[in-house]
């Protein structure tokens, strides 16, 4: 059993969709399911559409809607030529639904998370419909399935939590019997549904996680993520031109990398794969034969330094107003409040009377934390930092004497906020 995931860049235009067929035909000798994201940046475009409607910018919302529609219809025309009838009927129905949602948002003047999920889900629905129709047209052996029939979640729209037991049963009982060698089964990443059937999403860039959910529940032999890069790089080539591709990485290294800001795979992807020891291959769709990177229980024995940087960080220094020690009880109190605010620190350090926390800088973060803590603590904040992490660091990577508000060495890992 094989699970493959294709992201937005791998289906960004008609030529990429044609390339996808080649990939799928190469790998369908065994039962296989293919998880696909929205085409190119469609999720962002749908977000913009919802925002324009919520702000009452009706004519701009209509323009944006037309743009999204035409982008997809041009790909359809290119792929199917004069044979567009079947796919057009399906897409037309989707576009009518999107239009209704936009009208609803215009009336409301806002979009509740529930409506956000319904609208952005169309990115994946449209994309998989187009790809599946095209693959079936070429191969006559493609099946399109709705991921919402299998992946069930709670009602936290926008960042829904998977209900693993029911999802597992659905996949085992309803999906598995439909998979067979020679067949190409296509479904959506990112989207799921509540037990009542309402559309939810798993968080931005969540398609990798969707694929991992399928891989876990199907006890897949392996999972392959197709990307526009040769594999997992040891640094962002835009920041370090000497970046190299890693041949292999351990699950642990991969989790550390994604936690500290590497965007090559979604942070939640590794855990389900690790639990079942399913190897994850990251491969380039531009160079299908190349080896890519294998993430498994086996570590990279070359100890290649890995550089990750997470910009836009804010550092808070939290000090009890009565000058008492920042002891376990105080730290626990602060953490409870932070959890209550739905926030997660990227790094923390404790000194005698202060707790230093580093967060992704979000608009309401400081206000939310202050509302919970100002009765007992003084809060000083400074923003505009980058969290730089080096795994397998060497002396050369250590910060010079320059002031950095937070520096941490843990095992083979160094984190600097500067
Ligand atoms: N299309 C979704 C997003 O852009 C999910 C994904 O690409 O993984 O966030
Ligand atoms: Mg994406």
Non-local CB neighbours of 271 within 8 Å, separated by 6+ positions: 212, 255
CA 210 to chain centre: 9
Which of 227, 254, 269 is at the close of a domain?
A: 227
Mutate to test the pocket of ligand 1, among 50, 124, 206, 263 (most ligand atoms within 8 A of CB): 206
Output phi, psi for 240, to 5 deg: -135, 100
Q: Are residues 150 and 62 in the same domain?
A: yes
Measuring from atom 7 of ligand 1, which residue has the nearest CA? 205
Q: How far apart are CA 211 and CA 217, in angstroms?
A: 10
Ligand nearest to the CA of 266: 1
pLDDT computed for residue 40 by the predictor: 98
Which of 194, 227, 260 is at the close of a domain?
A: 227
Which of 227, 245, 265 is at the close of a domain?
A: 227
Q: Are residues 78 and 217 in the same domain?
A: yes
Q: Are residues 126 and 18 in the same domain?
A: yes
Q: What is the dihedral sign for C-alpha 262, 265, 270, 272?
A: positive
- 394 Cα to the center of ligand 2, angstroms: 33
In a domain, 272, yes or no: no
In a domain, 262, yes or no: no
Q: Are residues 116 and 27 in the same domain?
A: yes
Give the CATH number, domain containing residue 326.
3.30.2130.10
In a domain, 89, yes or no: yes
In a domain, 264, yes or no: no
In a domain, 245, yes or no: no
Spell out the per-residue pLDDT of the chain, length 418, in tens: 999 999 999 999 999 999 999 999 999 899 999 999 999 999 999 999 999 999 999 999 999 999 999 999 999 999 999 998 899 999 999 999 999 999 999 999 999 999 999 999 999 999 999 999 999 999 999 999 999 999 999 999 999 999 999 999 999 999 999 999 999 999 999 999 999 999 999 999 999 999 999 999 999 999 999 999 999 999 998 899 999 999 999 999 999 999 999 988 999 999 999 999 999 999 999 999 999 999 999 987 788 999 999 999 999 999 999 999 999 999 999 999 999 999 999 999 999 999 999 999 998 999 999 999 999 999 999 999 999 999 999 999 988 766 788 999 999 999 999 9
In a domain, 358, yes or no: yes
Q: Are residues 82 and 214 in the same domain?
A: yes
Q: Where are the beta strands (DSSP E) in 321-405?
A: 347-350, 355-360, 377-391
pLDDT computed for residue 352 by the predictor: 96
In a domain, 243, yes or no: no
Q: Which of 123, 74, 70, 66 is nearest to 94 (CA)?
A: 123
Query: Does the beta carbon of 279 sit less than 6 angstroms from any atom of ligand 1?
Result: no
pLDDT computed for residue 402 by the predictor: 67
Q: Are residues 208 and 320 in the same domain?
A: no
In a domain, 13, yes or no: yes
Q: Are residues 342 and 212 in the same domain?
A: no
Give the CATH number, domain containing residue 122.
3.40.1160.10
Q: How many domains does the chain have?
A: 2
Measuring from atom 6 of ligand 1, which residue has the nearest CA? 205
Give the ligand 1 atom nearest the CA of 204. Answer: 9
- 322 Cα to the center of ligand 2, angstroms: 48
Q: Are residues 311 and 220 in the same domain?
A: no
Q: Are residues 212 and 319 in the same domain?
A: no
| Residues 338 and 316: beta-carbon distance below 8 Å | no
Q: Are residues 223 and 311 in the same domain?
A: no
pLDDT computed for residue 19 by the predictor: 96
| Residues 379 and 318: beta-carbon distance below 8 Å | yes
Non-local CB neighbours of 187 within 8 Å, separated by 6+ positions: 33, 34, 35, 36, 128, 144, 145, 146, 147, 150, 214
Q: Are residues 21 and 120 in the same domain?
A: yes
Domain that holds residue 155: 2-227
DSSP state letters, 25-75: HHHTTS-EEEEE--STTHHHHHHHHHHHHHTT-HHHHHHHHHHHHHHHHHH
Q: Are residues 204 and 313 in the same domain?
A: no
pLDDT computed for residue 363 by the predictor: 86
């Amino acid at each position: 059993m094989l699970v493959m995931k294709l992201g937005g860049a791998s289906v960004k235009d008609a030529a990429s969709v044609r390339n996808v067929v080649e990939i799928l035909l190469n790998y369908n000798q065994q039962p296989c399911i293919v998880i696909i994201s929205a085409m190119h940046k469609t999720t962002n475009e749908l977000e913009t559409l919802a925002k324009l409607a919520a702000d009452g910018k009706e004519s701009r919302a209509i323009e944006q809607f037309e743009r999204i529609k035409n982008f997809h219809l041009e790909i359809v025309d290119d792929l199917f030529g004069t044979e567009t009838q079947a796919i057009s009927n399906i897409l037309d129905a989707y576009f009518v639904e999107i239009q209704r949602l936009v009208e609803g948002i215009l009336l409301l003047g806002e979009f509740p998370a529930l409506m956000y999920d319904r609208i952005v889900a169309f990115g994946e629905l449209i994309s998989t419909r187009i790809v599946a129709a095209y693959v079936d047209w070429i191969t006559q052996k493609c099946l399109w399935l709705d991921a919402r029939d299998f992946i069930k979640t709670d009602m936290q729209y926008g960042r829904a939590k998977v209900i693993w037991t029911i999802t597992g049963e659905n996949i085992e009982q309803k999906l598995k019997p439909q998979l067979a060698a020679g067949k190409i089964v296509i479904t959506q990443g990112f989207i799921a549904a509540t037990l009542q059937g309402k559309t939810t999403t798993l968080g931005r860039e969540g398609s990798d996680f969707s694929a991992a959910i399928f891989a876990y529940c199907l006890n897949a032999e392996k999972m392959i993520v197709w990307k526009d890069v040769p594999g997992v790089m040891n640094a962002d080539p835009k920041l370090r031109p000497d970046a190299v591709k890693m041949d292999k990485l351990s699950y642990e290294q991969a989790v550390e990398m994604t936690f500290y800001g590497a965007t090559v795979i979604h942070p939640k992807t590794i855990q389900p794969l690790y639990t079942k020891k399913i190897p994850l291959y990251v491969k380039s769709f531009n160079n299908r034969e190349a080896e890519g990177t294998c993430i498994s229980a086996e570590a990279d024995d070359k100890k290649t330094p890995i550089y990750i940087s997470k910009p836009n960080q804010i550092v808070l220094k939290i000090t009890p107003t009565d000058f008492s020690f920042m002891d376990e009880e105080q730290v626990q109190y602060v953490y409870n409040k932070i959890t209550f605010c739905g926030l997660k620190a990227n790094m923390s350090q404790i000194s005698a009377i202060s707790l230093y926390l580093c967060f992704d800088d979000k608009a309401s973060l400081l206000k939310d934390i202050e509302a919970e803590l100002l009765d007992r603590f003084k809060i000083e904040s400074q923003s505009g930092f980058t969290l730089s992490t080096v795994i397998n660091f060497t002396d050369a990577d250590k910060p010079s004497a320059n002031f950095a508000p937070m520096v941490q060495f843990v095992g083979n890992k160094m984190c600097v906020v500067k």
